[in-house]
């Protein structure tokens, strides 16, 4: 009974309350740091998507067939593989404008659209 009336009990309660308060602050701070990290990741992904769209280019030439593959042959004779054979199939032998992203080392175009031209 004497313990509850002493200053030691008061100091213990104050120390415990202070510890709980600091613990709550640290948890909240950690949550905010994680949220900021997640926001940064999302912003980076959106920036990457925008960057990918900016890398989209137009290519003109004629669709030619090589076995099961359809290729774009440009005016210089350079051949590019097209990753969407179904879309290219209807343009075989015709002049086209292909919108897509070039993978230069593979000479591959990730096709976004193919439109016939009057070349």
Domain boundaries, the chain: 2-53, 57-116
Which residue is listed with tokens 């009336």? 5
Q: What does pLDDT average to over the chain?
A: 80
Question: Within a 10 A sphere around the Cβ of 91, how many other Cβ atoms?
Answer: 19
Predicted confidence band at 63 (pLDDT cuts at 50, 70, 90)? very high
Which residue is listed with tokens 């510890």? 19
Of the candidates 63, 62, 55, 106, the one whose C-alpha atom is nearest the C-alpha of residue 86 is 63
- Least confidently predicted of 3-12, 30-39, 61-70, 107-116: 30-39
Residue 65 has pLDDT above 90, yes or no: yes
Q: 118: which 2 tokens?
A: 């009057």
Of the candidates 87, 86, 59, 84, the one whose C-alpha atom is nearest the C-alpha of residue 73 is 59
Of the candidates 115, 61, 57, the one whose C-alpha atom is nearest the C-alpha of residue 93 is 61
pTM (predicted TM-score): 0.55
From the options 3.40.50.620, 3.90.79.10, 2.90.10.10, 2.40.50.200, give the CATH code of 57-116.
Answer: 2.40.50.200
- Least confidently predicted of 34-38, 61-65, 84-88, 91-95: 34-38
């Amino acid at each position: 009974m004497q313990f509850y009336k002493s200053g030691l009990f008061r100091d213990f309660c104050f120390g415990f309350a202070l510890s709980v308060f600091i613990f709550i602050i640290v948890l909240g701070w950690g949550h905010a740091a994680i949220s900021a990290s997640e926001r940064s990741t999302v912003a980076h992904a959106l920036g990457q998507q925008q960057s990918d769209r900016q890398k989209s280019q137009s290519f003109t030439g004629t669709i030619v067939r090589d076995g099961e593959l359809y290729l774009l042959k440009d005016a210089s004779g350079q051949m590019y593989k097209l990753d969407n054979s179904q879309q290219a199939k209807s343009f075989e032998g015709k002049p086209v404008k292909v919108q897509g992203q070039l993978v230069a080392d593979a000479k591959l175009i990730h096709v976004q659209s193919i439109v016939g031209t009057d070349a």
